[in-house]
Structure 1
Amino acid sequence: MADTRDVLVVGAGPVGLTTACQLARLGASVRVVEQLERPTTESRAVGVHARSLEMLASLGVVDRLEARGRRIGALEMVEGRTGRTRARIDLAGTRTRHPYVLDVAQPDTEEVLAERAAELGIVVQRGVALTALDQDPDGVHVTLRTADLGRIERFGWVVGADGGHSSTRRLVGERLVGGFHGQHFAMADVDVDTTLSPDTIRMFLHPDGMGILFPLAGERARVMFLVDEPGPGDPTLERIQELADARMGGLVRVRDPRWLTYFEVHHAQVPRYRHGRVLLAGDAAHVHSPAGAQGMNTGVQDAANLAWKLALVARGIATPELLDSYQAERHPVGAEVVRATTLLTDVGTATGPESLLRDAALFVAGHVRPAAAAAATRLAELAVRYRDSPLSVQHGREHGREHGREHRRGHSRLRAGDRVPDPAGLSRPDGGPVAIEDLLAEPGMLLLVRDGQQRGALQDVLARLGRVLPVAREATGGDGLVDPDDGLGLQGLALVRPDGHLGLVADTADPALLRRYLTDTLQVTATAPAARGLRG
């Protein structure tokens, strides 16, 4: 019988494995069950965006993923009948250590994450289905069934990361709400012959339906086409070639298929991500078009957002009310992804007056630098922020009250709820360059403090929940950070959450302010930091 502090993660895809790995490295006890007896061999999700790579960096898996994938430096919108490029969005200028999309087949992503899970001591049980669920205020009874045996076990918490046909979602009585007219895609994992450069994802615009070309490692690529409702069976290679000829300007020849399939997507989301002690993430919580390669990335970021909070709660360090912020922060993001991918799919098939508006928008995106930069940042998911979250507190000289919490605007360039910036020139005292993702590789929170003010007192308050690092304009020795150009714009203190977003930002390094934030906002109990911290 599992301990009621244990977390059960249902699903061993990228979202489930990311959730489990983050929970484990933050000190929670976790198990994973997966209905499939063997890992998938289907390429499925292939594009990993910059923000996801930043979050996966804390797990130590980015180099392993890079070895299996291809860096993509741009997205192009192409006229499908002529092959003429209508707009190009370069990612090279995005402010991240990863100014590219990493195209890597999902089996490779899962294998890398499974390796990391094993290193963290996580047991992944395959061929195990969740068939029943009953929760009470103290835990969750689940029925787990194998091919020949069913058993009831008890866990403290359950995370449903079991995909678009989620059993967890069904068992808590939740359903997807949205557009259910459905869109059908023909998809092929093939080798391609083309004169097109392999460093660009291309979306081909065509009135009969968009086409998408994702280059993978070597000559391998993912091609997809929006189609009318298909007949029975899978598409043939000949059918894929017909679609490529018609919608990719005759620029792509396909061969050596690994996977040919039709699939249907809806545009929908669950109203609630949290049901008591059961939480939904990834496709279990939201489904949408593959346009823009946002699906898996949104799920990975669900996982990073949820895991640090659930680790605190599962370990008894924070009260369960902290988990309400998962809904508050991630549900709006999921809703925007559903809206944006629906719009992007519709743009690819626009005709008549709508196509004129589309073409004007593409011209602006491709030729006006601020618009192109904004589009690149949005595509990379670097613009996601939680400024309206109950966990985001900005403390400064100009102040008011918002959402029942202290919120002060004005001075610091850092904004609570935003992804913490990663300024050029940030370094360690010895001059070695460092990125925020490097600092977050050590589990726990990161408290940045201007010139080390009140460092000892702040560390006493934060205790084992994280560490305090001074930030100065010049090297002064010790283990702090050097920010010579003041790229962070730090005035007093900034608390960086384990998912890389800012929680508390203040113009003063006041230990009492930090204590109030931990107890009142993060719901950390008074004795927890001294007793057992996040960094176990």
Structure 2
Amino acid sequence: MTAPAAGTGDARTVLVVGAGPVGLTAVCELVRQGARVRLVDALPEPTDQSRAVVVHPRTQEHLAAMGVLDRLEARALAITALELRAGREATLRVHATTAEVDSRFPRILDLAQPETEAFLTALAGELGITVERGTSLDGLDQDDDGVTVTLTSPTGTTRHRYGWVVGTDGGHSRVRAAVGTRLEGVFSGRHFLFADVAAEGAPSADTIRMYLHPDGIGGAFPMPGGRLRLLFLVGAPAPGARPTLEQTQRLVAERMGGAWRLDDPRWLTYFEVHHGQVPQYRSGRVLLAGDAAHVHSPAAGQGMNTGVQDAVNLAWKLALVSTGRAAPELLDTYQAERHPVGARVVRLTSTLTDVMSADGTLAHLRDLALSVLGHVPAAGEQLVSAMTETTIAYRGSPAVTGLAGGRRHASPGDHAPDVPGLITADGAQAWIGDLLRRPGFLLLTTTGDPAVLDRLRSALGALGSVVPVVATAAGAPADALVDPAGAVAHRYGTGAAGLALIRPDGYVGYLSAGSDDRAVTEYLTDLLHVQPQPA
């Protein structure tokens, strides 16, 4: 056997394995936050299967900070309602645009995964990263100083040395196998038929519809161009069997009462639901995200969204560590924050699948409960908030601290709330979320004391930017947010002289009713293991 050829490598570079939405997000965020990155993928070409079609509000917030949301929403279909139907009538209908969906983007976007990947690939290219396709990871060895990987590409097999490896290579992750960990959970059970089809005569395209039928659930997810993503619970298919358009058309008629004419199938497949999660997202210098770390039912469209948010949480931390601005202990907070989220998603999607797949007496009780919920708007709104992932928070994380808000205002670990009514010093509309397009931390402060502002800027240094929040534009610094109604002070609980330190992933790291620069330094050094950089 010929030994792998010696290859190039850089112990300061992060190798990302897997160029789906999760890997592409990780790469873009790593580069935006200052890291060196290489991206490889075993597939010779991007997938042409529609796969994940749902982009939830919290993911849209991250995409907006990355500067790519406007491109995606120009091609996507906006979904503003969710219906559950038992029979021909809507048992429960909830609008995603309610106040309970606490986001600047209170809608769901539906778009086929290849298009989402194309936008992220274009952004990666603008950041100087090219996907190296047809390149697979065949093994890795790590020590205290780095990771040696074996990669096979069309030009041969080589060994390379990197500082860190991120596995975003899906449910059959080679990275996961190489570090000797595995998914723990349930790996057999219900089977679904998926179809991506054109649908003539389908109902309005602003609503996701789930049909509760005695023979099994059905789901209809509108997509751009008059297409539908359909799913149906089915019996276990025979080995090697493939679904057909005729079978799909029959299921639409039987379970949805739909006279829609299906055509042009771009994707027809069977899918067996698995539920599992790795015990540790970090194994030394190797980290897992997305389906490499957790797999679950496609119910509620959580998969890609959870993976993208894994990547956003990890990327800013790994960027600081890989560039020597923070100690590796910071990466332990990735496990602390994201593993519980993954576990909740596995439980939620498993429960939803069980509830929607119930039969007999249990199905009757389910339909009765949904009918009751249909008359309790708050309950339906809370369900949508959970499904759209806007309730995700890291309260209690070792990477957050400060003034607790409860229900009165934001708390450390919450996603930084955006508030309407803000303007720039020159009168243009402004959003806190848009300020996150700047790399690094964002420190909002309601103090107007120039000396305090200087000390805060010195404490944060090159790790981010300090933005004063003022009541009037008269005499305001050019980089200030003007907040005539005091909405920021109220929503964040900072009062007239406090501060909110927002992490690069958009979550509140430190919150205070005062503006003590020493407390900011202590948060960065003691909790995040970061050394502030001179501006």
**Category of TM-score, reference length = shorter chain:** over 0.9
Which has the larger displacement, 296-305 or 190-199?
190-199
- Matching residue of 1:447: 443
Matched, 1:427 2:420: no
Structure-2 residue corresponding to 1:509: 515
Moved more, 301-310 or 202-211: 202-211
Instruction: Report the equivalent of 2:142.
Output: 135
Say if 1:394 and 1:505, in contact at 8 Å, map to a contact too: yes
- 1:78 is displaced (CA, Å) by 1.3
Displacement of 1:451: 3.0
Residue of structure 2 aligned with 1:7, choices 10, 14, 22: 14
The CA RMSD measured in Å over matched residues stands at 1.6
CA distance in 2, matches of 1:163, 1:452: 49
Distance 1:441 1:99 in 2: 20
Aligned to 1:399: none
| Kept in 1: contact 2:41–2:133 (CA 8 A) | yes
Over 3 Å counting, the alpha-carbon distance change for 1:357 and 1:417 in structure 2 is farther
Please name the residue that 1:258 is paired with.
266
Map of 1:498 onto structure 2: 504
TM-superposition CA deviations, 1:170-220 (whole Å, max 9, x none): 111111111222321111111012341111111111232211111111111
Match of 2:432 among 433, 436, 440: 436
**1:365-415 superposed Cα distances (whole Å, 9 cap, x missing partner):** 4332322222222222110000010011024xxxxxxxxxxxx66797220
Residue equivalent to 2:172: 165
Cα displacement (A) at 1:529: 1.0
Partner residue in 1 for 2:481: 481
Which of 53-62 and 155-164 deviates more?
53-62
Shift of 1:226: 1.5
Query: 1:402 — aligned with what?
Result: none
Task: Determine the C-alpha separation between the residues in 2 that align with 1:362 and 1:484.
Answer: 43
Relative to structure 1, the CA distance from residue 410 to residue 4 in structure 2 (aligned partners, 3 Å threshold; closer, same or farther) is same
**SS of residue matched to 1:529:** coil
The answer for the alignment partner of 1:31 in structure 2 is 38
Q: Kindly tell me: are residues 374 and 430 of structure 1, through their superposed partners in 2, closer, same or farther at Cα, counting changes over 3 Å?
A: farther
The answer to whether the 8 A contact 2:282-2:288 is kept is yes
In 1, the alpha carbon distance for the partners of 2:459 and 2:358 equals 57
SS at match of 1:188: strand
Name the residue aligned to 2:66: 59
Q: CA deviation at 1:97?
A: 2.2
Show the counterpart of 2:528.
Answer: 522
Shift of 1:353: 3.6
User: Partner residue of 1:457?
Assistant: 455
Q: 2:315 and 2:206 mapped to 1: Cα distance?
A: 33
Q: Which amino acid aligns with 2:486?
A: D
Provide the rounded CA distance (Å) in 2 between the counterparts of 1:409 and 1:262. Answer: 46
Task: Name the structure 1 match of 2:321.
Answer: 313
SS of the residue aligned with 1:185? Answer: strand
Q: Would you say 1:247 and 2:255 are equivalent positions?
A: yes
**Which residue pairs with 1:177 in the alignment?**
184
Check 1:493–1:2 CA distance in 2 against 1; reply closer, same or farther (3 A cut): same
> 2-side partners of 1:308 and 1:185: how far apart?
37
TM-score by length of 2: 0.93
What's the counterpart of residue 410 of structure 2? Answer: 414
- Could you tell me whether the CA contact under 8 Å between 1:83 and 1:251 is conserved in 2? no
Contact persistence 1:445–1:467 (CA under 8 A): yes
User: What's 2:107 paired with?
Assistant: 100
Alignment-derived partner of residue 466 in structure 2: 468
1: distance between equivalents of 2:203 and 2:487? 38
Shift >4 Å, 4+ stretches = 408-412
Q: Counterparts in 2 of 1:303-382, with a 5 A limit?
A: 303-382=311-390
Structure 1 unpaired stretches of 5+: 396-407
Answer yes or no: is the 8 Å Cα contact 2:30–2:319 preserved in 1: yes
Give the drift of 1:359.
2.7
Deviation by residue 1:126-152 (Cα, 9 ceiling, x = unmatched): 000001010000100000012451100
Distance 1:136 1:394 in 2: 36
Identity %: 53
Task: Output the amino acid matched with 1:514.
Answer: V
- Equivalent in 220, 225, 232 of residue 213 of structure 1: 220
Distance (Å, rounded) in 2 between the aligned partners of 1:482 and 1:425: 9
**1:69-148 paired onto structure 2 within 5 Å:** 69-79=76-86, 82-93=87-98, 94-147=101-154
- Normalising by structure 1, what TM-score? 0.93
Q: Quote the residue 2:4 is aligned against.
A: none
Q: Deviations over 1:337-361 (max 9, x none)?
A: 0111111111112233423442344
Post-superposition shift, 1:482?
2.3
Tell me, yes or no, if the aligned pair for 2:18 and 2:167 is still in contact at 8 Å: yes
Deviation at 1:511, TM superposition (A): 0.5
Counterpart amino acid of residue 415 in structure 2: R
SS in 1 for 2:410: coil
Distance change in 2, residues 1:377/1:475 (3 Å): farther
**What is the distance in 2 between the residues matched to 1:7 and 1:189?**
36
Cα distance in 1, alignment partners of residues 228 and 296 from structure 2: 21
Aligned equivalents of 1:30, 1:360: Cα separation in 2? 53
Give the deviation of 1:420 after TM superposition: 0.9
Aligned length: 515
| SS of corresponding position for 1:130 | strand
The one-letter code of the counterpart of 1:434 is A
State the distance in 1 between where 2:41 and 2:277 align: 23
Q: Which amino acid aligns with 1:87?
A: L
Distance 1:4 1:366 in 2: 56
CA deviations 1:69-99 (Å, max 9, x no partner) are 11111111112xx321111111112332211
